[in-house]
């Protein structure tokens, strides 16, 4: 047995602590195959091959009919990483008997997903088969989290840990203000009202077990000092639908939100580099790309000011990944986190992770998160990372840079110790 295989067998036993997903705790697993296949990784590839967006987005046809239509596009996806995840989960979680899912056998997969979903202990079954210990959910600031704490893992600890997702708070549009007003039961007229409402919601989230904030930022985010008066003037302009300096208001909000993380000892997860709505007619989740020439330099203000706030940062471009590794190397409060979205393939992980390990202490990294929308996808996506990690660690062992035991220590730090320590669980 080669070294990589031996290392993988040990790494595979490490429980999954997933710090970023979009799993809905109220319906965490798929009731039918379409609820897995509607993940934008699949639908955007089908749409780019000719599947009409109207079919993907509409309530009609039925989920079963949508699955049949999408299956016709699987053949040309077989070399892609998402298709590999699909085959992995179909065989491990649904006992799918074939080597490929295609237009001829899709109905078998659809039937098996439906049958498995009827098991009243299906969530526990998925967690056991995928070795999942904790799932961080992504929740809007006004979301009702009642009942999230009732789900327990095999250690009788909270399975779902909510994350306070703050993207909408950076722009303070009408819907955001309206939803915040409804959630706190009071009106919002001035910036102080807005900030107090956010403080109330953070308190509610923490009572439900929240450990972190999260935000998705564009490719060149800017943080800076913004005076209180200027921030108030911009907020008033936003409320009155008048021209405002959105860049400075966002900077003020990132400053304010970082201060809340500092006060409450919460993580602030930053996902940097996405360019939204590039394909205007794309399907949900399939409109966005990465910006290859982005930089993290604009974050220096908050990274320096809030030295007690830990910032796990993810990037979308390999060009930025080296920059991220350097930031994690010199800033005590910056962690190179996961391999996000378009960088989440076996080949990209190998390149980027090797680069990170060559520049940065492994204790300054979080290995991987799934970004999954259903619990079924968590194990498959993180298992791909474990394979890539095993192959990289084999190289270090063969070159006598580290021992096999050190390789396993690194893997446990990346996948388990660091995320648990940073989350405080």
* Residue (of 169, 103, 93, 167) closest to 131 by Cα position: 93
Per-position pLDDT tens, the chain of length 425: 589 999 999 999 999 999 999 999 999 999 999 999 999 999 999 999 999 999 998 888 999 999 999 999 999 999 999 999 999 999 999 999 999 999 999 999 999 999 999 999 999 999 999 999 999 999 999 999 999 999 999 999 999 999 999 999 999 999 999 999 999 999 999 999 999 999 999 999 999 999 999 999 998 999 999 999 999 999 999 999 888 899 999 999 999 999 999 999 999 999 999 989 999 989 889 999 888 888 999 999 999 999 999 999 999 988 899 999 999 999 999 999 999 999 999 999 999 999 999 999 999 999 999 999 999 999 999 999 999 999 999 999 999 999 999 999 999 999 999 999 999 99
Cβ–Cβ contacts within 10 Å for residue 40, how many? 18
Question: What secondary structure does DSSP assign to 150-168, as a single string?
Answer: G-B-TTSSBSEEEEEE-GG
Instruction: List alpha helices for 97-208, DSSP H.
Output: 106-117, 122-130, 174-184, 191-207
Kindly report, residue by residue over 55-79, the tens digit of the pLDDT.
998 888 999 999 999 999 999 999 9
Q: Which of 385, 334, 389 is nearest to 363 (CA)?
A: 334
> Crossing angle, helix 376-398 and helix 346-359, to 10 degrees?
50
pLDDT for 1 equals: 58
* Dist CA 292 CA 275 (whole Å): 10
Beta-ladder partners of 311? 334
The answer to whether the CB of 48 falls within 8 A of the CB of 287 is no
Residue 218: partners with Cβ closer than 8 Å, 6 or more residues away: 272, 273, 274, 275, 276, 291, 294
Q: What is the pLDDT of residue 319?
A: 86
Q: Are 59 and 34 in contact (CB under 8 A)?
A: no
SS3 content of the chain, % helix, strand, coil (to 5): 55, 10, 35
Residue 341 near residue 316 (C-beta atoms within 8 A): yes
Residue 281: φ, ψ to 5°? -100, 15
Q: Answer whether 136's CB lies under 8 Å from 21's CB.
A: yes
Confidence at residue 233, expressed as pLDDT on a 0 to 100 scale: 96
Task: Answer whether 172's CB lies under 8 Å from 235's CB.
Answer: yes
In terms of DSSP bridges, do strands 267-272 and 311-315 run parallel, antiparallel, or are they unpaired? parallel
Residue with tokens 């491990």: 92
Does this model's pTM top 0.85? My answer is yes
Closest CA to 81 of 389, 340, 345, 377: 345
DSSP codes, 327-338: HHHH-TTEEEE-
Domains of the chain: 3-27+138-423 (3.20.20.140)
């Amino acid at each position: 047995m080669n070294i990589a295989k031996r290392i993988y067998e040990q790494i595979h036993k490490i429980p999954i602590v997933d710090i970023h997903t979009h799993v809905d705790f109220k319906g965490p697993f798929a009731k039918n195959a379409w609820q897995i296949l509607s993940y934008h990784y699949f639908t955007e590839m089908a749409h780019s091959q000719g599947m009409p967006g109207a079919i993907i987005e509409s309530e009609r046809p039925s989920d079963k009919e949508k699955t049949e239509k999408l299956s016709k596009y699987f053949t040309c996806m077989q070399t892609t990483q998402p298709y590999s995840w699909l085959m992995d989960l179909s065989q491990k979680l649904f006992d799918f008997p074939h080597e490929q899912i295609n237009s001829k056998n899709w109905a078998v997969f659809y039937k098996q997903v439906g049958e498995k979903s009827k098991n009243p202990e299906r969530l526990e079954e998925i967690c056991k088969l995928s070795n999942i210990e904790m799932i961080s959910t992504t929740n809007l600031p006004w979301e009702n989290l009642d009942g999230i704490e009732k789900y327990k893992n095999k250690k009788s600890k909270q399975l779902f840990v909510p994350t306070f997702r703050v993207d909408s708070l950076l722009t303070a549009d009408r819907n955001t203000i309206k939803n915040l007003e409804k959630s706190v039961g009071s009106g919002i007229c001035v910036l102080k009202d807005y900030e107090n409402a956010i403080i109330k919601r953070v308190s509610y989230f923490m009572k439900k077990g929240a450990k972190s904030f999260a935000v998705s930022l564009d490719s060149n985010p800017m943080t800076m000092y913004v005076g209180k008066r200027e921030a108030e003037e911009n907020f008033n302009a936003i409320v009155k639908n008048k021209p405002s300096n959105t860049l400075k208001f966002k900077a003020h909000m990132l400053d304010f939100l970082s201060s809340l993380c500092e006060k409450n000892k919460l993580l602030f997860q930053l996902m940097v580099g996405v360019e939204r709505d590039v394909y205007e007619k794309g399907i949900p989740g399939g409109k966005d790309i990465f910006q290859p020439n982005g930089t993290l330099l604009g974050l220096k203000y908050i990274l320096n000011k809030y030295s007690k706030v830990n910032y796990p940062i993810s990037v979308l471009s390999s060009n930025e990944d080296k920059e991220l590794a350097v930031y994690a190397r010199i800033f005590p409060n910056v962690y190179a986190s996961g391999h996000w979205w378009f960088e989440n393939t076996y080949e990209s992980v190998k390149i980027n992770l090797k680069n990170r390990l060559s520049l940065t202490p492994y204790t300054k990294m979080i290995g991987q998160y799934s970004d999954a929308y259903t619990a079924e996808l968590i194990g498959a996506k993180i298992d791909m990372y474990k394979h890539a990690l095993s192959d990289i660690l084999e190289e270090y062992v063969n070159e006598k840079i580290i021992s096999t035991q050190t390789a396993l220590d690194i893997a446990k730090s990346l996948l388990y110790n660091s995320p648990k320590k940073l989350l405080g669980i």
